[in-house]
């Protein structure tokens, strides 16, 4: 486990981290807390160097800064952990395969030895050879038993290590590719999902931005801003289906990737999401106080041919800014 501090130590680090977070512009979300916790705990020197410089210059972190620093100094570390676990699994499989091969070789040799002993015992002088045959057979049987025991132990040890590695891999992949606040994929996970696509009929992309999100934070505070982020994520998760992929790709920016979906189908989904969120009545956690209407602007882009994610994002981004210019709370299609 990466964090191994005692309860007393972690409580002190919590106090220090929250103090730093309160002086930033960024939301008080898990990503921000992770940055400051690792800084005050001395766990991440490269990150600390950057944060100390920002503190010295009195240059508060924004949500975009937090997203960038988290991706660079936290998520990338988890991605490296995933790669190391994959490599260890490959080595373990190779070791197990070698052990089985060696055991098979011993078994083959043992079988040939048994055939030889059987042939010797069928000769006319078998009575005089029986003692030497039995002695050799005992030695070879003991060797084969030892090989089988060694293989059994190695397979048992390998199975336990595979189980432990699997659990570590699940935790590392969750940290590397998922957004801590919303549970959706993060930017890195979104890029990986796009790379894994095998769409044959083109792909559509919705780029979604929460309208005037800074005003929500200023009026209600960062905890409510976090609640809005989770509310948007919940609606996205409820509206997508099948192979559709939803992610939080920035501070208040989300994306939905729609494989094998035509432009009009993508636009219709964008409108459903926009209207569902606008009609929703979000309330403060533990209170009946309404936050007010929350709206989004959506840019929709479609590519019928092979394209890169950057190209598709640029098209959708242009449509998103058009939606903002036209008054927000609307969906705009990218121009081909």
Quick: pLDDT tens for 216-245.
Answer: 888 878 788 888 898 899 999 999 988 899
Instruction: Note whether 211 and 305 are same-domain residues.
Output: yes
67 found inside a domain: no
Q: Are residues 91 and 154 in the same domain?
A: yes
Q: Which domain holds residue 39?
A: 7-61
Tell which wins on pLDDT, 265 or 116.
265
The mean pLDDT value for 4-14 works out to 82
201 shares its domain with 314: yes
Residues 250 and 225 in one domain: yes
Question: Among candidates 306, 208, 297, 321, which has minimal Cα distance to 259?
Answer: 306
Asked if residue 152 belongs to a domain, the reply is: yes
Same domain (yes/no): 11, 129:
no
Q: Supply the pLDDT for residue 320.
A: 96
Structural domain includes residue 2: no
Residue 127 above 90 pLDDT? no
Paired residues of 185 in beta bridges? 178, 247
Distance (Å, rounded) from C-alpha 19 to C-alpha 174? 28
The answer to whether residue 68 is domain-embedded is no
When divided into structural domains, the chain yields a total of 3
The whole-angstrom separation of Cα 40 and Cα 328 is 40
What pLDDT is stored for residue 1 in this prediction?
Answer: 45
Residue 224 in domain: yes
Any idea what the CATH number is for the domain that residue 253 is in? 3.30.70.270
* pLDDT, tens digit, 9 for 90 and up, residues 15-44: 888 888 888 988 887 888 889 988 988 888
Same domain for 104 and 223?
A: no
Q: Are 248 and 199 in contact (CB under 8 A)?
A: no
User: Does residue 223 sit in the same domain as residue 262?
Assistant: yes
User: Is 107 among the domain residues?
Assistant: yes
In a domain, 119, yes or no: yes
- 26, two tokens: 């960024």
Residues 84 and 47 in one domain: no
214, 270: one domain: yes
Residues 110 and 247 placed together within one structural domain of the fold = no
Residue where a domain terminates, one of 177, 198, 225: 177
Residue 212 and residue 317 in one domain: yes
Average pLDDT over residues 171-197: 83
- Does residue 240 share a domain with residue 134? no
For residue 257, the tally of other CB atoms under 10 A from its CB is: 24
Residue 16 near residue 41, CB atoms below 8 Å: no
pLDDT score at 113? 67
> Would 70 be classed as within a structural domain?
no
Q: How would you classify residue 3: left for phi > 0, otherwise alpha for psi between -120 and 50, otherwise beta?
A: beta
Q: For 290-334, how does the pLDDT look when each residue is reduced to its tens digit (9 = 90+)?
A: 677 889 999 999 987 767 889 999 999 999 999 999 999 999 999
What beta strand segments (E) does 90-159 contain?
A: none
């Amino acid at each position: 486990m990466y964090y191994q501090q005692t309860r007393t130590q972690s409580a002190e680090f919590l106090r220090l981290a929250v103090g730093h977070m309160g002086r930033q512009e960024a939301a008080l979300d898990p990503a921000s807390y992770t940055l400051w916790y690792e800084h005050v705990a001395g766990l991440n020197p490269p990150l600390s160097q950057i944060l100390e410089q920002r503190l010295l210059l009195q240059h508060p972190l924004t949500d975009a800064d937090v997203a960038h620093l988290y991706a660079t100094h936290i998520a990338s570390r988890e991605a490296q952990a995933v790669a190391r676990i994959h490599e260890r699994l490959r080595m373990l499989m190779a070791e197990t395969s070698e052990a089985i091969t060696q055991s098979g070789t011993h078994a083959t040799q043992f079988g040939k030895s048994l055939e030889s002993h059987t042939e010797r015992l069928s000769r006319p002088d078998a009575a005089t050879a029986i003692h030497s045959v039995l002695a050799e057979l005992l030695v070879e049987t003991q060797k084969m038993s030892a090989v089988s025991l060694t293989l059994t132990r190695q397979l048992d040890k390998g199975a336990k290590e595979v189980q432990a590695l699997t659990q570590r891999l699940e935790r590392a992949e969750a940290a590397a590719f998922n957004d801590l606040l919303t549970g959706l994929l993060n930017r890195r996970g979104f890029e990986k999902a796009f790379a894994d696509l095998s769409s044959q009929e083109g792909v559509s992309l919705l780029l979604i931005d929460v309208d005037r999100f800074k005003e929500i934070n200023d009026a209600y505070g960062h905890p409510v801003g976090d609640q809005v982020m989770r509310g948007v994520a919940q609606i996205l998760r409820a509206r997508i289906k099948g192979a559709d992929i939803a992610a939080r790709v920035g501070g208040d920016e989300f994306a939905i990737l729609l494989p094998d979906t035509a432009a009009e189908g993508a636009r219709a989904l964008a409108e459903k999401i926009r209207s569902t969120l606008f009609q929703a009545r979000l309330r403060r956690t533990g209170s009946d106080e309404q936050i007010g209407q929350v709206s989004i602007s959506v840019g929709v882009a479609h590519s019928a041919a092979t394209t890169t994610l950057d190209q598709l994002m640029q098209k959708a981004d242009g449509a998103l800014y058009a939606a903002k210019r036209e008054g927000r709370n609307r969906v705009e299609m990218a121009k081909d």
